[in-house]
Each structure stands twice: as structure tokens, then as C-alpha cells.
Amino acid sequence: MYSEQGEQEFLTELEILSEYKHKNIISLLGYCDEEKERISVFEYASNGSLDRHVDNASLTWTERIKIGIDVARGLDFLHVGGSTQASVIHRDIKSANILLTGNWKAKISDFGLSKITAINNEMDFMIDDACGTPGYVDPQYVEQGFFTRKSDIYSLGVVLFEIMCGRTAFLHGQEDLVHLVKRHYEDGKLFELVFVGNLILGFEECRNLMFIYRMN
């Protein structure tokens, strides 16, 4: 279906992926924009999106940590601007937008909602219409309308907890992940949420991992 909004998101993604190239950002291979046909061709990520794998017991902790680091590196590249003088705010970081290659390398995708801004501009955008995905959106953005690079970092934190807890931000009929983590943290029982499938790390290593994720 052709729409002005869809056209703008299509052009935004083309602009960003043509300029920002990184091993943890999905590569644009080609596109078609002819009359009412808009097609983008991306590199193939054979393992699909991260949300399909967070509860996969065969995904080892080594692979989980690597995926988390990959996403953080890709987002950092967008925020610091790479070799350009502009920074990209993704605005829709979530596990469904993290694609995985055959060797579990993570790549950030879906830049239709993204915005380009000056690197030294701290208060980047004031958005009237809500964007992003419930469960991943920074509460301060919802309350105040300001979306900054810190809002992306909040969404990254949710993704890291998905990786660590082995479940997505929302499960039908269950408490959403953000409130679940907050409740366990306040009760001093955060470690109980660690996904035990294929757990090969010792207690001390897991505790250190929890500390790193909390600091995010």
C-alpha cells in the first residue's frame, strides 16, 4: 500500500543505510523505487530476528553475550556518527529489529523511524506523535515527549534483559518484562530471572553479568 508516511520511512532507511556502514548494522544491497513499487534488498540473516531465539535453550551464554555486545556496538556507532558529523537515533530498538546471521552475529535493522541529528545536540527531538514499540519505549519520552540518544539506550537495556531472561518484553497473559525485572530488583532477587537453559557460567560470572546489564 502506497502512502506518504511509508514513502518517508522508505527514503529515511535508504539515506541512513547508504551512509552508515558497520558490521553490526544490516547492509543495504539495493532498492527499487518506481511508481508505486518500493523494494529494499538487504543482506541475508539466516537466523532471522532475535525475538525468535531469546527463549531458545540451545543458544549458549557465550552466544547471548556476544549478541548483546554486537547490538551495543552497532548502536554506539550510530550515536557517535562514525566518520560523519551526524548522529542517528534509531527510535525503535527491539529484539524483532535485531537480525542474526548464521554465526549469530547481530545486526541492527529497520531504520524507517530513525532521525539524523548533530552529535553535540543533547536534546535532539521533540515528537508530538508517539513512535516505537510498547515495552521498549523510554518512559520519559512517553511522559515528556523528548526522544534522545538516551531513549535508545533504554530500549537497548530492555533487549539485554530479554537476552538474559530468555523471554520477550511481552508475553500474552504474563507480566511485562520491564515491571518483572523492576520488581525482582527491588526484592533483591534479580538473579532468579537469569535464563537457565544451557547455563554454562558459574554463579560469580552470572552475578557479574547481571551487574553489567543493570549498569546499562
Q: How confident is the model at residue 1 (pLDDT cuts 50, 70, 90)?
A: very low
- The CATH superfamily assigned to 45-215 is Transferase(Phosphotransferase) domain 1 (1.10.510.10)
Sign of CA dihedral 85, 33, 96, 109: negative
CB atoms within 10 A of CB 67: 24
Most confident range (mean pLDDT) of 28-42, 72-86, 191-205 is: 28-42
Q: How far apart are the first and last CA of the chain?
A: 39
Residue 107's pLDDT is what?
99
Q: Residues 48-67: what's their mean pLDDT?
A: 92
pLDDT band at 62 (very low <50, low <70, confident <90, very high): confident
| Residue 215 grid cell | 549498569
Question: What does the H/E/C string look like for 163-197?
Answer: HHHCCCCCCCCCCCHHHHHHHHHHCCCHHHHCCCC
For residue 192, give the C-alpha cell: 532468579
CA dihedral 108, 139, 211, 91 (to 10 degrees): 10
Contact 143, 137 (CB under 8 A): no
When pLDDT is averaged across residues 18-43 and rounded to a whole number, the result is: 92
Instruction: Give residue limits of the domains in the chain.
Output: 45-215
Q: Name the catalytic one among 92, 110, 124, 152.
A: 92
- Cell readout for 33 is 523505487
Assess whether pLDDT exceeds 90 at residue 154: yes
Percent of the chain with pLDDT over 90: 43
Per the prediction, the chain carries an average pLDDT of 83
The per-residue pLDDT for 8 is 87
Q: Which three cell numbers stand for residue 141?
A: 519520552
Task: Please tell me what DSSP assigns to residue 39.
Answer: E
In the chain, what percentage of residues exceed pLDDT 70? 80
- Confirm whether 55 is a catalytic residue: no
Q: pLDDT tier at 129 (50, 70, 90 boundaries)?
A: low
